[in-house]
Structure 1
Amino acid sequence: MYISITKQHLDTTFSKSCGDFVDYLEKENRDKSPELQEHFFDQHNDHVSPKHVVKDIDGNTAKLRKNEPKFYSLTISPSQRELKHIGNDPDKLRQYVRETMKAYASSFYRDFPVSVDSIKYYAKIEYERTYKGFDREIKENQPYRAKIVKLEHDLVKINRGELKGNTKAIQKTIDRLRAEAPHHMDGKMIEQGMKKQGFQTHVHIIVSRKDVTNQLSLSPGSSHKASEVILNGNPVKRGFDRDAFFEKAEKTFDTLFKYDRNFVERYSAHKMYKKDTYKFFAHLMALPTNEKSIAFKIMGKSGMHIPDLNIPTNQVQLALKAFKQLKRTIDVAKGTGSIGI
């Protein structure tokens, strides 16, 4: 499970409207008949119109300055393993989002408890992802793609009479490069814009910076977990505990759907890897054989090269090299979950 929290972003100032973002989230509906379209939803309603979303979020920005975000974007991206566990069921995802937003609300540190009914949010399920420039497959195919583009340009020039050459030989070279590229899908070389295979379902959530009363500011971008400041001579609580939110969200999925989460899927394991790679490795190698085997398979599917599953425990340096590769993979995954607005 990967969850990102991104502020509305437009250089040094922020747009007065969430309209462009809402329009972006409608992209999968454009070629679908009304009965097949995916609707926005909130805590209590399954069908909310895009027009209502824009009006409600844009109208909830009292006293926010130009250099303050008007809303935040949350992206919830279950892994393919998690999606398979729930049968890629959109109703279960809506249930999960609603429970997770309770955890989001409770992670604010304020003078009084913040409930899910205090926040204003709208969510939208999407089922597709396309390959982008930062994806491993695109990066590793790029040297081949660059050579192909050059040769294709040569073909155009030859056909125009601007260049001499053997078109059949050049086309043969292009075909060979396409075949030699490391990543293919359905017999075709993977390129930017192609749809990814497998379950790619994820959820985008627009959350207003202000609470439903349009008076209290609720910023998940706060650098404080829990602190107090003096305002007008009175102590005021502030902060948002991201660690607590991510862990609650993870536990919510496991509890709701009886999911047996592997060690390497846990948020705590990702934190352990960043802070103490040796400790992460020691914990991984100490897992029962079956759980350790599953862990390596999960990491392998994430895009890293995994050595023999039966890694001798004294080959620490070899394993650490692989885990550094895993860290880069995790960082890339985080990038794909963030949406710049």
Structure 2
Amino acid sequence: MFINITDSKEAANKGSSTGLVNYLEKENRINNKPEPEYWFNGQKIRIEPYEVMRSIDNNVAKLGKDDAKFFLVNISPSQKEIRFLKEQYGEDGAKEQMKGFAVRVMDAYARNFNRDGVNNNEDLLWFAKLENYRYYNYKDPEVKQGLKQRGERKEGEQMHVQVIVSRRDITNKIKLSPMNTSRGKNAEHSKKMGQFDRVAFKQSGESLFDSLFEFDRQLKDTMAYANVQKNGELSQREQLGVLLEGASQNYESRSVANEMARGVADGLFTTTAGMLSAAGKTAASFLEVMLEPMYTGGANIVSESEIEEKKRRKKKSRGQQISR
């Protein structure tokens, strides 16, 4: 699950939302279907583009010309996650589930500010659009190498949701910026802007998906694992190696390992021993698996039941040969 908040330069968000709304209407223009893909939010499922533009552009009280007026949130499940949804709910059902999931993500977005009066998606002014495809642009290596053309549709499962959310809350009174990185360190600044932890917000999307859809996420598919592999220290990668071994055993150990990996990514453990010790009783079953001596030559081991079955077949075979 990839969730990203586009910065002001890419979103061109210091003026009207018209350009972005028109851009996100591209699939309706290209596909030219009788029934377009409507905008939606937590209250309505059929919202016209002009309603989106009018609402966002009018919700800018006390914002200067150089201030961001809105932000773009990209909610992109992996191809594995999309296939899972389609297997569970079918093509159309997967789309509806993704729309419902987007509402829950915006609940998490609101809560992440830790502001009084901003508790869920209903306290925000936001509009979302489900898109079924992605297209190559000039930045893609395939285009640079001449293998694909700009504007050509990308292969594979590409369903995702784009969200335009106003800088101001639904009352047009509270200023909210997800680009604030204080995380509460500057109390006065956080009081005005809200203390937004973008890493925690991105992580919440992954956790939400797993809990809502009972998705059995592999440790290597977690955001924490990717972050450690890309930016982590050697000790953190060693800790993940231990978790990987335990996570391969069963669903329960995998679930615990995923949770502990987030702590590894946050740098909570200085050593592997410290990581296992900090897990405590909640990870008891996982630790039992980890600390159990494993016999690697098990391919040649035959269970007692298999031995008895072989003896029974031999006796039967001998009896048949005698009767002949």
Matches of 1:223 and 1:71, distance apart in 2: 17
1:69 corresponds in structure 2 to 68
Query: What does the per-residue CA deviation read over 1:135-183, in whole Å, with 9 as the maximum and x for residues that have no partner?
Result: 34344xx2xx4xxxxxxxxxxxxxxxxxxxxxxxxxxxxxxxxxxxxxx
| Separation in structure 1 between the aligned mates of residue 248 and residue 161 of structure 2, nearest angstrom | 29
Q: Distance in 2 between matches of 1:118 and 1:83?
A: 29
Alignment RMSD: 2.8
Tell me the residue number matched to 2:197.
241
Q: Structure 2 residue aligned with 1:217, among 165, 175, 184?
A: 175
Which amino acid is the alignment partner of residue 132 of structure 1? N
The equivalent of 1:155 in structure 2 is none
1:290, distance to aligned residue in structure 2 (A): 8.9
Q: State whether residues 109 and 226 of structure 1, in contact with CA within 8 Å, keep that contact through their aligned partners in structure 2.
A: no
The alpha-carbon distance between structure 1 residues 193 and 113, as it changes in their structure 2 partners (threshold 3 A), is closer
Q: Which residue number corresponds to residue 333 of structure 1?
A: none
Q: Is the 8 A contact 2:177 2:193 kept in 1?
A: no
Where 2:115 maps in the other structure, the secondary structure is coil
Q: Return the offset for 1:66.
A: 1.3
Instruction: Name the structure 2 match of 1:204.
Output: 162
Contact residue 180 and residue 193 of structure 2 kept, 8 A: no
- Give the letter aligned to residue 94 of structure 1: K
Give 1:119's aligned residue: 124
Distance, in Å, in 1 between the alignment partners of 2:215 and 2:155 is 23
Q: CA separation of 1:236/1:127 partners in 2, compared to 1, >3 Å: closer, same or farther?
A: closer
Give the corresponding residue for 2:101: 96
Q: Could you say which residue in structure 2 is the equivalent of 1:279? A: 236
- What is the CA–CA distance in structure 1 between the aligned matches of 2:39 and 2:204, rounded to whole Å? 24
Structure whose residues are more often helix by fraction = 2
Shift of 1:111: 4.2
Measured in 1, the distance between the counterparts of 2:10 and 2:79 equals: 32
Q: 1:112 to 1:18 in 2, by over 3 A?
A: closer
Could you tell me the TM-score, scaled by structure 2's length? Answer: 0.67
* Aligned AA (1:202): H
Structure 1 residue 35: deviation in Å? 3.6
Deviation at 1:286, TM superposition (A): 5.5
CA separation of 1:14/1:77 partners in 2, compared to 1, >3 Å: closer, same or farther?
Answer: closer
Displacement after TM superposition at 1:81 (Å): 0.3
Say which SS state the counterpart of residue 224 (structure 2) adopts: helix
1:5 aligned onto 2:5 = yes
2:17 corresponds to which residue?
18
Identity of matched residues, %: 32
Structural mapping, 1:154-303, within 5 Å: 189-230=147-188, 238-273=194-229, 274-276=231-233, 279-280=236-237, 283-284=240-241, 287-288=244-245, 291=248
Aligned-pair CA distance for 1:285? 6.8
In the alignment, residue 223 of structure 2 is paired with which amino acid? Answer: Y
Q: Aligned partners of 1:49 and 1:205: how far apart in 2? A: 14
In 1: Cα distance, 2:110 partner to 2:38 partner: 23
Assess if the C-alpha contact under 8 Å between 2:219 and 2:247 holds in 1. Answer: no
Q: How many residues align?
A: 242
In structure 2, the residue matched to 1:38 is: 37
Deviations 1:215-256 (A, max 9, x none): 10011111111245448xxx7683112122122211110011
Return the alpha-carbon distance in structure 1 between the equivalents of residues 205 and 10 of structure 2: 28
2:4 counterpart letter in structure 1: S
Moved more, 96-105 or 13-22: 13-22
Structure 1 Cα separation of the partners of residues 127 and 243 of structure 2: 43
One-letter code aligned to 1:256 = L
Query: Which one scores higher on RCO, CA 8 angstroms, separation ≥ 6?
Result: 1
Give 3-state SS (helix, strand or coil) of 1:121's partner. Answer: strand
- Report the secondary structure of 1:204's partner residue: strand
User: How far apart, CA to CA, are the structure 1 residues paired with 2:60 and 2:182?
Assistant: 22
Instruction: Give the match for residue 325 of structure 1.
Output: none
Inter-partner Cα distance in structure 1 for 2:109 and 2:5: 11
Q: Which amino acid aligns with 1:266?
A: T
SS in 2 for 1:86: helix
- Give, as a single letter, the amino acid of the residue that structure 2 aligns with 1:279: Q
Deviation at 1:44, TM superposition (A): 1.6
2:9 is paired with a residue whose SS is coil
**Counterparts in 2 of 1:280 and 1:224: CA distance versus 1, 3 Å:** same
Give me the whole-angstrom Cα distance separating, in 1, the residues matched to 2:212 and 2:118: 24
Distance of aligned partners of 1:127 and 1:291 in 2 relative to their CA distance in 1, 3 Å threshold: farther
**Runs (5+) with no aligned partner, structure 2:** 250-324
Tell me the alpha carbon deviations over residues 296-322 of structure 1, each in whole angstroms, 9 at most, x when there is no partner. xxxxxxxxxxxxxxxxxxxxxxxxxxx
Change (3 A) 1:137 1:277: farther
Alignment TM-score, normalising by the size of structure 1: 0.64
